[in-house]
């Protein structure tokens, strides 16, 4: 899949590809919202695998929804785009599935001078509780919410999920190396569900200096190629 991105803006990384792989192992159908869609990568990869889903991409930055529509056209995929602040988003329909690689960098990490990058990375752009509140308002009962977040903030995530009536049903940690602490976690949560949580085997990115077997397979499965989007 060819994905156009801004040359000097936020650019997708392996987090989104690992999240895509995590989600795509499930059977998707119905109305799917990609919240904070960026260039559209997560939703479009899922749409490419599951042609029957009705995909909507939402982002607070108009340039991102513009690029998402462009990328959908380049890859012969259908998407509806909405430029809106997710905290204020109201929807007449309830979504079956919401997916998101939200901004979760904390404020103690030095910021870029590039506002496009800052809005896409830092949690002040979309607070965790605000995100969960918004998802809760637009998702169907038993609907699924897939997202990634800083693994070191898992206590906050668990508290937020409980507060907004979500039950964590799948959890997977990502490690840079086998002996390193995890900094990324992948979550599947279902609204008003009583299912037990499945803790999946960890994903380890590197085997020595090279990508590990599973990480390499995910990159090959995603098969993305980045090009520069010229406004």
- What is the residue-wise DSSP string for 20-83? HHHHHTS---SEEEEET-TTSHHHHHHHHH-TTSEEEEEESSHHHHHHHHHHHHHTT---EEEE
Count of other CB atoms within 10 angstroms of residue 24: 18
Which pLDDT does position 66 carry in this prediction? 98
Q: Max Cα separation, the chain?
A: 50
Reported pTM: 0.94
Query: How many angstroms separate the CA atoms of 208 and 191, rounded?
Result: 40
Residue 99 CB contacts under 8 Å (≥ 6 apart), including other chains = 19, 23, 32, 33, 34, 35, 42, 43, 46, 145, 146, 147
Query: How many angstroms separate the CA atoms of 168 and 196, rounded?
Result: 8
Which pLDDT does position 21 carry in this prediction? 98
Residue ranges and CATH numbers for the domains of the chain are 2-225 (3.40.50.150)
Which pLDDT does position 103 carry in this prediction? 85
Contact 152, 41 (CB under 8 A): no
Which pLDDT does position 126 carry in this prediction? 73
Tens digit of pLDDT at every position of the chain (231 positions): 999 999 988 889 999 999 999 999 999 999 999 999 999 999 999 999 999 999 999 999 999 999 999 999 999 999 999 999 999 999 999 999 999 999 865 656 655 556 665 565 555 567 999 999 999 999 999 999 999 999 999 999 999 999 999 999 999 999 999 999 999 999 999 999 999 999 999 999 999 999 999 999 999 999 999 999 987
Which pLDDT does position 143 carry in this prediction? 97
Which pLDDT does position 50 carry in this prediction? 98
Instruction: Kindly write down the DSSP assignment for every residue of 114-163, as one continuous string.
Output: -HHHHHHHBGGGS-HHHHHHHHHHHEEEEEEEEEEEEGGGHHHHHHHHHH
Burial 174-204 (b: 16+ CB within 10 A, else e): bbeeeeeebebbbbbbbbebeeeeeeeeebb
Count of other CB atoms within 10 angstroms of residue 150: 17
Query: How many angstroms separate the CA atoms of 97 and 50, rounded?
Result: 13
């Amino acid at each position: 899949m060819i994905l156009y991105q801004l040359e000097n803006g936020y650019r997708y990384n392996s987090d989104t590809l690992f999240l895509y792989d995590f989600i795509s192992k499930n059977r998707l159908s119905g109305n799917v919202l990609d919240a904070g869609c960026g260039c559209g990568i997560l939703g479009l990869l899922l749409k490419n695998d599951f042609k029957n889903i009705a995909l909507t991409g939402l982002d607070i930055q108009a340039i991102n929804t513009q690029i998402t529509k462009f990328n959908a056209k380049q890859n012969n995929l259908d998407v509806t785009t909405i430029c809106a602040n997710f905290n204020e988003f109201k929807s007449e329909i309830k979504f079956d599935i919401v997916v998101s690689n939200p901004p979760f960098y904390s404020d103690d990490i030095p910021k870029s001078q590039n506002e496009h990058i800052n809005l896409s990375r830092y949690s002040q752009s979309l607070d965790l509780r605000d995100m969960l509140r918004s998802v809760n308002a637009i998702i169907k009962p038993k609907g699924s919410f897939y997202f990634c977040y800083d693994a070191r903030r898992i206590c906050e995530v668990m508290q937020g999920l409980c507060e907004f009536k979500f039950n964590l049903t799948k959890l997977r940690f990502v490690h840079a190396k086998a002996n390193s602490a995890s900094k990324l976690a992948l979550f599947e949560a279902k609204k008003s569900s009583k299912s037990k949580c499945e803790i999946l085997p960890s994903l380890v990115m590197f085997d020595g200096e090279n990508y590990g077997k599973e990480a390499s397979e995910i990159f090959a499965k995603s098969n993305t190629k980045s090009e520069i989007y010229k406004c």
